Amino acid sequence: MTTPALLPLSGRRIPTLSPGASSFPHHRATLRLSEKFILLLILSAFITLCFGAFFFLPDNSKHKRFDFGLEDVLIPHIESEKEARHSSRQVIHGVGAHDEHRHREEEESLRDKIRADHERALQEAKEKLRKSKEELKAEIQTEKTKVVEDLKKKDGPKPLPPVPMPKLVGVNDGDPGDPDTKEKRDKIREMMKHAWDSYRQYGWGHNELKPIAKKGHSTNIFGSSQMGATIVDALDTLYIMGLHDEFKDGQEWIEQNLDFSVNAEVSVFEVNIRFIGGLLAAYYLSGQEVFKVKAVQLAEKLLPAFNTPTGIPWAMVNLKSGVGRNWGWASAGSSILAEFGTLHMEFVHLTYLTGNPAYYQKVMHIRKLLAKMDRPNGLYPNYLNPRTGRWGQHHTSVGGLGDSFYEYLLKAWLMSDKTDTEARKTYDDAIEAIERHLIRKSNGGLTFIGEWKNGHLERKMGHLTCFAGGMFALGADGSPDDKAGHYLQLGAEIAHTCHESYDRTVLKLGPEAFKFDSGLEAVAVRQNEKYYILRPEVIETYWYMWRFTHDPKYRQWGWEAVQAIDKYCRVSGGFSGVKDVYSSNPTYDDVQQSFFLAETLKYLYLLFSSDELLPLENWVFNTEAHPLPVLHLGNITLPGSETQQ
């Protein structure tokens, strides 16, 4: 799924370019007068104007015009208007000397008001001159802040409509009961606290952490801005684990600092699954409105990405300008199946929470378009051109570039309380084609999922593909032709293969990709496939298999992973990926991925918790492990759904 120049970053996602950093220069004028001197010039000009006005103000009530002063501006307009009204009254009502006297009094009153205003302006000017430079700067800043706040109130988002909160079950605790399991769960919680505290100390506000260098880190999927990806991604894990002080710190940062009106080009897919998914999950778990408001603000910034001839969104969008484009390395400028196909869960919830049908309509349009297209061998190629609506290179994968498209078909059905039968049928048809063309058994008896490239099956499986074991188990109930047992067994076989990929390394951590040919099975061959970057997919499958079978081997395998991560990836500044899982002295990649806190540690914690914590009947996890509640809509129709029939 990757080339040597590319580094895939997180669970069920595409490869991205190598990390880069940018900074904004601070420009200063090389020559400028002191601020106080400029203020003095302005104030002295103002005082001169005031004295001039005083000098030329009349001292009687005669109708007199002056050739200079403020009355050239004020008095002629007043007098002409009054004369017009006066003559009109004389003609209509025969107004006499009494009215003439009243007009003089009004004009005298106006002059008195002007004099008073000038006096007040002079007094304010004198007071300004007595203030220090620092006091003046503070006043200016206060005024600027007030203007900004007033503009925000004026142009701020409309209040969201009240909607019934879905039934929320099992949002905390999950005590496993026996002391040994609880001790293991406590260890995982301690690892989460170490990862969070390290980020809090060394990378706060940055997207991710460099735990060796002990500083912030970011990648091109987030653009050049500091959007606090780790904070948003980790919130629900903190909440589930009962780390409420840490959760509160994250909430405060989001309230005060998370701003999407930045000139940053971001990955629509990554920002959707990490930020929108993370914010929605935090909202549902905690009930704090700020998370819902921020999720909607960000979602509005993503909508321009759909402005393409086909409605298939661009891979990237600039949050400020709304300009979109695709990855330069993608086949012929194509959009990617796993990206535009991994929006449904979050966008349905956005329509539910806002009443805005646009989100639901966008994702349903994608589904309808794909349904009309021919699919080679029933398979979905990974690339689709958003301009022409045609497939790009015929490459099909259940790993990177394709994976979460299939996952979201199944989860759209589950999240709809199993009413979205169209999604279920599309999933079943896709899995049938995958079984026929991609799933094979190795000579050693290991079931694996290969990749289809231009009519040829590549006998290689990626770490990302290992999520599919859990997907098959999750989708077993409801399978056509009474195949529930078959798919549960298929999930178990994939879990076993992926465990072997871990067990056959020195570190007992799985490589990025592993082959099944030339006598080698479940082993990485290329050096650039031997790394482990704290990925969650294998552990995710262990958890799903545990939930559906309660076979103790899945907890045993999960504990092996906990021990290996703690031994080989833990450093004083957090947790780091390693570059070679076959080396007894591996080098670190010096990145603590945000998905390590969002997914890897969450799935491990759930593996050693009771089934009452986030039961699968009530919650569906997005591809970044953010739990969203099942929408028991009953007779309620989502806004916009009526136009999709």
Active centre residues (catalytic): 270, 403, 512, 537
Instruction: For residue 378, give both structure tokens.
Output: 């029933």
Token digits of residue 504:
């056959």
**SS3 state at 317:** strand
619 bridge partner residues: 629
Tell me the Cα Rg of the chain.
33
DSSP state of 158: P
User: What span, in angstroms and rounded, lies between the C-alpha atoms of 207 and 189?
Assistant: 22
- Number of C-beta neighbours around residue 550 at 10 A: 10
Q: Checking DSSP bridges between strand 215-217 and strand 208-210, what pairing results, if any?
A: antiparallel
Q: How far apart are CA 83 and CA 503, in angstroms?
A: 100
| Separation of alpha carbons 236 and 231, rounded Å | 10
Residue 197, token pair as written in the block: 């505290």
The candidate with the shortest Cα–Cα distance to 399, out of 468, 302, 453, is 468
For residue 446, give the nearest of 460, 457, 431 by alpha carbon: 460
Measured from the Cβ of residue 42, the count of other Cβ atoms closer than 10 Å reads 12
Q: Which residues of 74-97 are buried (b: 16+ CB within 10 A; e: fewer)?
A: ebeeebeeeeeebeeeeeeeebee
Q: How many residues can be counted in the chain? A: 645
Beta carbons of 315 and 339 less than 8 angstroms apart: yes
Helices 277-286 + 229-240 axis angle, to 10: 30
Q: Which residue has the tokens 């805005």?
A: 356
Nearest 10 degrees: CA dihedral of 273, 274, 277, 281?
150
Q: Where are the beta strands (DSSP E) in 417-494?
A: 439-441, 447-449, 451-453, 456-458, 460-462
**Best CA proximity match to 446, nearest among 544, 391, 523, 512:** 523
- The Cα-based distances of 103 to 81, 109, 161 in angstroms read 12, 10, 56
Beta bridge partners of 324: 317
Q: Up-side HSE of residue 469: CA atoms within 13 Å toward CB?
A: 32
Q: How many helices (H) and strands (E) does the chain have?
A: 21, 21
Q: Is 84 helix (H, G, I), strand (E, B) or coil?
A: helix
Rounded Cα–Cα distance for residues 563 and 169 (Å): 31
Cβ-Cβ contacts under 8 Å for 637 (sequence gap 6 or more): none
Q: Is residue 260 a contact partner of residue 301, using CB atoms and an 8 Å limit?
A: yes
Burial class from Cβ neighbours inside 10 Å (0-12, 13-18, 19+) for residue 603 reads buried
Ligand-binding annotation for 623, yes or no, is yes
Binding residues: 623
Binding residues for Ca(2+): 623
